[in-house]
Amino acid sequence: MAKDKTVFVCQNCGYISPKWAGKCSNCNSWNSFIEEIRYSEPKGLHSKSEAKPGNAIKISEIRKQQLSRIELPYSEFNRVLGGGLVPGSLVLLGGEPGIGKSTLVLQTVLNLDKRKVLYVSGEESENQIKLRAERIGINNENCFIYTETNIEKIIATIKSLEPEIIVIDSVQTVASADLTSSPGTVSQIRECTRILQEHAKEFDVPVILIGHINKDGDIAGPMSLEHIVDAVFQFEGDNNHYYRLLRPKKNRFGSTYEIGVFEMLNHGLKEITDPGNILLTGDNSGLSGVAYGTIGEGTRTLMIEIQTLIGNAVYSSPQRTSTGFDGRRFQMLLAVIEKKLGLNLSQKDAFVNIAGGIKVSDTAADLPVLASVISSYYDKPIPENTCFIGELGLSGQVRPVSFIDKRVGEARRLGFNNVFISSAQKSELNKNIAGIISVSDVKEFASKLFRPTN
């Protein structure tokens, strides 16, 4: 009989240590070690002496099989999956509590036509799920609900029911009776995922795993889970706002570039196939400190609204606060404006906010931030229907950004008649597009801002 031993497993990264430690030497997280019992495996068929050589094939001789995909009822979901669910694959859907993960998956499987689905819930009762289905307003004879957390029972049920799609809500609640550690620990999550994966591959069914994320935005539990599964999606948005973004972090069967956009309504989620202006708040004419820009999300362009307030400093050291925009980049932009335009910002408090609760990392948002700072400083509104697309360099030059034609096209489609861009990019655009204002540096930008001229 093999001897069992006690080990300490980091709940953040899965690192195993023979002794307890306050800090994980692998991922540097504190207080993450939990004691677990490891059953040492008996030496089986695959011990060194008995292993037979395997069959390696030349890549040119492998016959490519066409991936069959299960198309889901929402084009926004299919878009991020790369065309639909691939049978035999494991898909992990992460997101903060209450963001709408269960709603998205339940609504999707309820809308599927003639496909047997097993929805396993370890979090909610049958009654709660029924109430949600009623709220969404769909009934489906082929959708089976099973409230269970024991993975062995779940597998037995899968074998007898033979569903075509399996949903596990959530991976942190399921546990194997063969392990002593409690549900949600690294060993349990890993083991249950491994068992489900084996099953998914053997029976060629897709499994959707729902996972919680921790405060750092990672799927709670082991980071290694993200390596095991075929695709990882994050469902994100702001609880105060109605829109939700489905963003791929990893996808073995499609690109990680696309996003899916949904709207949370009282009766479930609605997909938004034309999301260009969902982040805008409405009429801001006559208000200073408000500017519009664009961000590229996959093959689509979203318009963003930037609100800035520059006021006299309340304390001896002025405050700089940014919401949705990188704080350090904001400081950098303020420093460039101060140096190149001579605005006295060192005695001012500066606040910037991206409307709609979205986090922006696209550098094309530099120019609208710059515009909103100047507008607020002089308390002078920016002319209506104006949009800004460009990155700012440290020496004050306005630099080119990617996909300029797409961004300009979307801005003009949504009624922005004046579009500021970097003069280095003017030649990339069709000469017949009117309303393009090209600027090469901050000084030229400031001189044209309130009087847009070509």
Site residues (vs ligand TYD, CB under 6 A): 95, 97-103, 132, 135-136, 264, 266-268
Is residue 397 a contact point for Mg ion (CB under 5 A)? no
What the block records as the tokens of 443 is 């000084």
**How many CA atoms, within 13 angstroms, populate the side-chain half-sphere of residue 444?**
15
Is residue 172 a contact point for Mg ion (CB under 5 A)? no
Sign of CA dihedral 103, 108, 109, 114: positive
Count of CB atoms within 10 A of residue 2's CB? 9
Say which residues have a Cβ less than 8 Å from residue 51's Cβ, sequence separation at least 6: none
d(CA 106, CA 213): 19
What the block records as the tokens of 174 is 């399921």
CB of 103 to Mg ion, least distance (A): 8
String of b and e for 415-432 (b: at least 16 CB within 10 Å)? ebebbbbbbebbeebeee
Binding partner of residue 199 among Mg ion, ligand TYD, none, CB cut-off 5 to 8 Å per kind: none
Between 127 and 319, CB nearer to Mg ion: 127
Count residues near Mg ion (CB under 5 A).
Answer: 1
Is residue 176 a contact point for Mg ion (CB under 5 A)? no
CB of 423 to ligand TYD, least distance (A): 46
Per CB under 5 A, contacts with Mg ion among 31-70 are none
CB of 186 to Mg ion, least distance (A): 21
Binding partner of residue 268 among ligand TYD, Mg ion, none, CB cut-off 5 to 8 Å per kind: ligand TYD
Is residue 89 a contact point for Mg ion (CB under 5 A)? no
The answer to whether 398 touches 441, Cβ cutoff 8 Å, is: yes
Between 102 and 193, CB nearer to ligand TYD: 102
Between 6 and 127, CB nearer to ligand TYD: 127
* Of 372, 355, 354, 368, nearest in space to 290 by CA: 372
Between 32 and 102, CB nearer to Mg ion: 102
Binding partner of residue 250 among Mg ion, ligand TYD, none, CB cut-off 5 to 8 Å per kind: none
Between 136 and 272, CB nearer to ligand TYD: 136
Is residue 251 a contact point for Mg ion (CB under 5 A)? no
CB of 173 to ligand TYD, least distance (A): 12
CB of 146 to ligand TYD, least distance (A): 17
Between 145 and 387, CB nearer to ligand TYD: 145
* Alpha helix positions (H), 260-386: 327-341, 366-377
CB of 353 to ligand TYD, least distance (A): 24
d(CA 423, CA 399): 8
d(CA 298, CA 257): 5
Between 121 and 181, CB nearer to ligand TYD: 121
CB of 247 to ligand TYD, least distance (A): 14
Between 95 and 396, CB nearer to Mg ion: 95
Binding partner of residue 386 among Mg ion, ligand TYD, none, CB cut-off 5 to 8 Å per kind: none
Peptide bond into 170 cis (omega under 30): yes
CB of 238 to ligand TYD, least distance (A): 12
Reported residue count of the chain is: 454
* Alpha helix positions (H), 384-430: 404-413
Is residue 102 a contact point for Mg ion (CB under 5 A)? yes
* Of 344, 391, 338, 345, nearest in space to 364 by CA: 391
The answer to whether 151 touches 166, Cβ cutoff 8 Å, is: no
Residues forming the site for Mg ion (CB under 5 A):
102
